[in-house]
Amino acid sequence: MAEEKKDIMIQFQDVEKYYGSFHALKKVNLTIDRGETVVLIGPSGSGKSTLIRAINGLEPIQEGHLTVNGFDIHDPKTDINKIRKRVGMVFQHFNLYNNKSVLENVMLAPRIVNHIPEEENEKYALDLLDRVGLKDKAGSMPSMLSGGQKQRVAIARSLAMKPLALLFDEPTSALDPEMIGDVLRIIQEIANDSDLTSLIVTHEMNFARKVANRVIFMADGQILEDSKTEDFFNKPTSERAQQFVDQVLDH
Ligand SMILES: Nc1ncnc2c1ncn2[C@@H]1O[C@H](COP(=O)(O)OP(=O)(O)OP(=O)(O)O)[C@@H](O)[C@H]1O
């Protein structure tokens, strides 16, 4: 029988990353297929942000290969901007343009980078704001919004570029508890869009359990587990992961 051909979106092969002499990613091997929703968890300082930021070239790697949509992202010949156009990132602290309206925040990159005609751009931006429940805030400035609303604008903004993949780096860590649910619900809806590949760093274990196809567990710069979600939560194979899950679920 012919082997099923997988459609790989993100692939780390023996990736090593150092900050000076500090070894932040140790021989990382990871393959994420198109359309998968993968959650990345692990203790503070284990390298989750470093791994996710390497994917769109925000952190250089020193050894190994990292391909995104078939391009070796750390090959000097690769045009990193072409990859960043299709790989969106949602940050912990939103990173909105505070001097621009909500609508302008969503319209800016498609206008400047993709030269989308104004009318089409505005229509799509308003559709996206509707999708995140904020169409009525289109004319507001970010300073008028709650943290949860800001993060929903940031999500709409990342979708405006019609990404192939979205990277979420602790998208709810800076939010008040009552804001978290709405943001997670929207991330779940987006992640379940079958074409989109999502990689989500989160400490929200119940959310991870609901949304992810797979869970990656990191500690000390290494991937210790890469399991189907239910397998991971039913019985992590490493003691380190078991301790982590027990600790997080206790809180
Ligand atoms: N710019 C940097 N220079 C030096 N060391 C860094 C830098 N960025 C991160 N580190 C170190 O690399 C390690 C991994 O950091 P990283 O932010 O990737 O971890 P994390 O798992 O995302 O942690 P957290 O859950 O606390 O955000 C940490 O020990 C951190 O101190």
Residue 251: pLDDT above 70?
no
User: To test the ligand 1 pocket, which listed residue (40, 49, 222) has its Cβ within 8 A of the most ligand atoms?
Assistant: 49
Residue 216: pLDDT above 90?
yes
Dihedral (C-alpha) 225, 186, 86, 116: value to the nearest 10 degrees?
180
Give me ligand 1 centre to Cα 116, in Å: 37
Q: pLDDT at position 2, please?
A: 47
Transcribe 35-87 into DSSP letters.
T-EEEEE-STTSSHHHHHHHHTTSS--SEEEEEETTEETTSTTS-HHHHHHHE
Q: What is the mean pLDDT of residues 167-172?
A: 94
Give me ligand 1 centre to Cα 102, in Å: 31
Give me ligand 1 centre to Cα 125, in Å: 34
| Lowest-pLDDT choice from 71-75, 119-123, 195-199, 213-217 | 71-75
Q: What residues contact residue 239 under an 8 Å CB cut-off, 6+ apart?
A: none
Is the ipTM higher than 0.95? The answer is yes
Q: pLDDT at position 193, please?
A: 82
Q: What is the mean pLDDT of residues 22-27?
A: 98
* The length of the chain, given as a count of residues: 251
**CA nearest ligand 1 atom 18, residue:** 47
Ligand 1 pocket residues where CB is under 6 Å: 19, 22, 24, 42, 44-50
Cα distances from 64 to residues 16, 25, 67, 116, 242, in angstroms, run: 6, 11, 10, 37, 29
Whole-prediction pTM: 0.93
- Residue type for 204, please? E
User: To test the ligand 1 pocket, which listed residue (15, 17, 19, 91) has its Cβ within 8 A of the most ligand atoms?
Assistant: 19
Q: Which domains are seen in the chain, by residue range? A: 1-86+172-250 (3.40.50.300), 96-162 (no CATH)
pLDDT tens digits, one per residue of 80-115? 888 888 999 999 998 999 999 999 999 999 999 999
Residue 133: pLDDT above 70?
yes
Using pLDDT thresholds of 50, 70 and 90, give the confidence band for residue 250: low
Residue 31: pLDDT above 60?
yes
**CA nearest ligand 1 atom 16, residue:** 47
Give me ligand 1 centre to Cα 98, in Å: 27
Residue 150: pLDDT above 50?
yes
**CA nearest ligand 1 atom 24, residue:** 44
Q: What residues contact residue 39 under an 8 Å CB cut-off, 6+ apart?
A: 199, 200, 201, 202, 208, 211, 212, 214, 215, 216, 229
Q: pLDDT at position 1, please?
A: 47
pLDDT tens digits, one per residue of 218-248? 999 999 999 999 999 988 888 999 988 888 7
User: To test the ligand 1 pocket, which listed residue (22, 89, 244) has its Cβ within 8 A of the most ligand atoms?
Assistant: 22
Q: pLDDT at position 246, please?
A: 83
- Average pLDDT over the chain reads 93
| Lowest-pLDDT choice from 44-48, 74-78, 116-120, 210-214 | 74-78
